Structure 1
Amino acid sequence: MTKFLFMATYTVEGINGLMKEGGTRRAEVIRALVENTGGRVESFHFGLGPHDAYVICDLPDQQTAVALATTIRAAGGLDTRVNPLLTPEDMDGALQLNMPYRPPGG
């Protein structure tokens, strides 16, 4: 499983739906959607800032993450972005890879 961070910003229609259904119900809908893909929600939080909702979840693969993000965005109500998350060990492994690179003009 791979860990992903979903960040969502509600549209006017989405905020109206949230106000009607409530935060707990929206979290239940997202949890069921993720679990239906074979994934697991680690945390769901609403925020006050650049995004209105943050979901950290484990998903089977990147294709599942893309399918979830595009399905949610296409349904309307939310502008959703997704980022893969790396463990410290993942970062250590990546930093050990030798990448030959020459910067512009270098």
Structure 2
Amino acid sequence: MPKYLVRASYTTEGTKGLLAEGGSGRKEAVEQVLRSCGGTLDWMYFAMGEDDLYLVLDMPDEVAMVATSMAVRATGAVQSTAVPLLSVADIDAAARKVVDFRPPGA
């Protein structure tokens, strides 16, 4: 399954919810929304700084990731960015792939 690194920041309303539910409550909510789209949570860490939260997710495909992201972001409680992650094997396969490319001006 594709993996994604998600960076998230809570809005004021989202922070109020975090204060009310605590970190465990939010982790349960994340696991539930991922399960609903066929995904799982690898890890989740809260942070201090520009981002409030970092997660690594396994999702069945890009459509499931986008559906989850849209549903969560539509609440207005969170702003997030998802970064597709590539395994070492993915990079090895890409390095072996023959690409026919002519650079500009060549």
Q: Which residue of 1 aligns with 2:10?
A: 10
Cα distance between partner residues in 1 of 2:76 and 2:85: 25
Letter in 1 for 2:44: F
Q: Which residue of 1 aligns with 2:58?
A: 58
Cα distance between partner residues in 2 of 1:82 and 1:101: 32
Local SS of the residue matching 2:103: coil
Gaps of 5+ in 2: none
Q: Which residue of 1 aligns with 2:83?
A: 83
Cα distance between partner residues in 1 of 2:94 and 2:67: 26
Gaps of 5+ in 1: none
Aligned residues: 105
Cα distance between partner residues in 2 of 1:33 and 1:70: 12
Q: Which runs of 4+ in 1 moved over 3 A?
A: none
Where in structure 2 are the equivalents of 1:38-49 lying within 5 Å? 38-49=38-49
Q: CA RMSD in A?
A: 1.5
Cα distance between partner residues in 2 of 1:44 and 1:76: 20
Cα distance between partner residues in 2 of 1:95 and 1:2: 19
Identity %: 35
TM-score when normalising by structure 2: 0.89
TM-score when normalising by structure 1: 0.89
